[in-house]
Structure 1
Amino acid sequence: MTDSHQQQTPPAWYPDPDPSNPGGQRWWDGMRWTEHSRPAVPTAQPLYDGGPGAGPAAAPQPGSAQPGSTQPGSTQPGATQPGQAQPAAGQPGSFPAGYGQSGYGQPGNGQAGYGPGYPQVALQQGAVAYPPVAPGTSALTWSVWLVVGLQLLSVIGYLFLDFSSYVRAVLALSASGSSPEGPDVSRFTSSLSGFVVGVLLLDVLALVIYGLTVMFAYFDWRELQRRGFAHPFHWAWTFLGPIVYVIGRTVVARRRGGRDVMWPIWALVAVTVIAIVLVVIKVVTILSAVSSTIGGYVPGVS
């Protein structure tokens, strides 16, 4: 079996390869066996009603074919015949029913499974029931705090950008244009170059923050897997923004039964509120500086 088969085996319950759990099932997360397992589910022998006057159902005789039984030489969906390729070690012992065709007890077939070899999961429209984590497992990691907190750095950098000097230089250039000496371009050029350098530095800072956010989201996703969260919210959603990732991981971690799942959401709300307050303060400062500058150049404005 090649690596491509390992990637194609979907996460689900499969027959447990552990000999200490005969007939049971174990969760395969798509890459490896997990510690989640469940014992075999006993199934009752169906009784067949032969109609009025018929006696009790006779016990199956050797050589007789029962519905759902497997006779030597018969071919069942998903059965492995001698000479066929066997799955490699570390993979589920057989391909699940529905891997290429719908088997008994699988969604879309409409029939119940005949034995514990089939996943006993009641699903609708092919949904997968992921196992919960151990009770008390926390969903908080050091990396998710950095994913949330890094968003303040760009706002703090914005506070250091000198808008007031640039606006004053523009007004001074406009006022000096009507003087006999002509416009004072040197002051405007100096203020403009400083402003442009500041904007470029903010762009570089935003790019660095974006890359660090994606990296820390990956660390957070890997740590959640290590703690037993089956199929956590994928870190690649961070490319759409940290808000998308934080909300998605919170929803998935809560479905898996994790603890402390809401703290990143509250932290994100607090960061957003702080950022709004800082931006408002910066805008008020700029408007105040512009107003005082205009008062120095325009008569009657104080």
Structure 2
Amino acid sequence: MTNELAQPASAAPAGWYPDPHGAPMRRWWDGYTWTDHVAPTERPYGEHLPAAHVPDGTPVDTLWIWLAVLLPLVSLAPILLVDVDQLAATNIQTGSPFGDLWYNIAALLGWPLYGLTVWFAYLDFAALGRLAYGRRFHWAWSFIGSLVYVIGRFVVVRRQSGRGPASLWAAIAVVVCSTAVSSWLFVRLVEAMFSATMTAVGQF
């Protein structure tokens, strides 16, 4: 190999450079002239890695992901038992937002359920590893919210199994139910507080 080929800048150090003839490879420049040594063109990181797949029939959902998805329903039960009229009357009379036992229970359940959700996400992450999933959505995303973890997990698991976990659709249904119940409680509470306020004003 001689200097007949196009040369890089004269100050270019020895190294691998794109082939001067435009071939899809790199050629070694020894600092003075091109050599006969060639190498494949570098590809973007990870491009050469084979796609990760799990054997057919590998489960896409675990017990832990179902527990994480359905856990918010636990807090809905006490909300449905709240005596909205008593809660509103207590709030008007004393200014306290804790005028109903079931409302207090629902409020106190928030942090324990949050902690359990993160724990279940971690256990699900570990279970997917035992099922030979080479790539997993990290459980720490559950600190932002269980739905964030479930969506990310759905994408990663589906790419490796070819099947979409049903847990995602269950999670969406739970979010819809939770939103509906919370909205119902808010509307009922506003109505009850308005009624209690009018009653209190009428007594003067």
TM range (shorter): 0.5 to 0.7
Match of 2:154 in 1: 250
Alignment of 1:185-264 (within 5 A): 188=94, 192=96, 194-195=98-99, 201-259=105-163, 261-264=164-167
The SS at the match of 1:111 is strand
Letter in 2 for 1:224: L
| Of 127, 130, 149, the match for 2:70 | 149
Following superposition, the deviation at residue 246 of structure 1 comes to 0.4
- Partners in 1 of 2:97 and 2:177 — Cα distance? 30
The answer to whether structure 1 residue 165 and structure 2 residue 86 are counterparts is yes
The SS at the match of 1:195 is coil
Following superposition, the deviation at residue 147 of structure 1 comes to 0.8
| Distance of aligned partners of 1:204 and 1:170 in 2 relative to their CA distance in 1, 3 Å threshold | closer
- Partners in 2 of 1:123 and 1:290 — Cα distance? 65
Question: 1:80-124 CA distances to partner (integer Å, 9 max, x unpaired)?
Answer: xxxxxxxxxxxxxxxxxxxxxxxx9xxxxx9349xxxxxxxx952
Match of 1:136 in 2: 57
Following superposition, the deviation at residue 156 of structure 1 comes to 3.7
Alignment of 1:281-296 (within 5 A): 281-296=184-199
Letter in 2 for 1:111: A
Following superposition, the deviation at residue 143 of structure 1 comes to 1.1
Percent of residue pairs identical:
32
What CA RMSD, in Å, does the superposition of the two structures yield over aligned residues?
A: 3.3
* Structure 1 residue ranges, 4+ long, deviating more than 6 angstroms after superposition: 196-200
Unmatched segments (≥5 aa) in structure 2: 1-25, 27-37
Match of 1:34 in 2: none
- Partners in 2 of 1:158 and 1:287 — Cα distance? 15
Q: Rg: which structure is higher?
A: 1
TM (norm. structure 2) is 0.66
- Partners in 2 of 1:220 and 1:278 — Cα distance? 28
- Partners in 2 of 1:255 and 1:284 — Cα distance? 42
More helix by share: 2
Following superposition, the deviation at residue 223 of structure 1 comes to 1.6
Letter in 2 for 1:269: I
| Of 37, 44, 48, the match for 1:124 | 44
Match of 2:171 in 1: 268
| Distance of aligned partners of 1:253 and 1:167 in 2 relative to their CA distance in 1, 3 Å threshold | same
Structure number with higher relative contact order (C-alpha < 8 Å, ≥ 6 residues apart) = 2
Following superposition, the deviation at residue 236 of structure 1 comes to 1.8
Following superposition, the deviation at residue 151 of structure 1 comes to 1.9
Question: 1:256-283 CA distances to partner (integer Å, 9 max, x unpaired)?
Answer: 1243x24111111101111121122212
- Partners in 1 of 2:102 and 2:56 — Cα distance? 50
Question: 1:32-70 CA distances to partner (integer Å, 9 max, x unpaired)?
Answer: xxxxxxxxxxxxxxxxxxxxxxxxxxxxxxxxxxxxxxx
Number of corresponding residues: 166
Contact conserved, 2:137 with 2:153, CA < 8 A, in 1? yes
The SS at the match of 1:280 is helix
Letter in 1 for 2:74: L
Contact conserved, 1:161 with 1:198, CA < 8 A, in 2? yes
Letter in 2 for 1:168: A
- Partners in 2 of 1:143 and 1:248 — Cα distance? 16
TM (norm. structure 1) is 0.46
- Partners in 1 of 2:85 and 2:39 — Cα distance? 74
Match of 1:111 in 2: 39
Letter in 2 for 1:286: L
Unmatched segments (≥5 aa) in structure 1: 1-103, 105-109, 114-121, 173-187
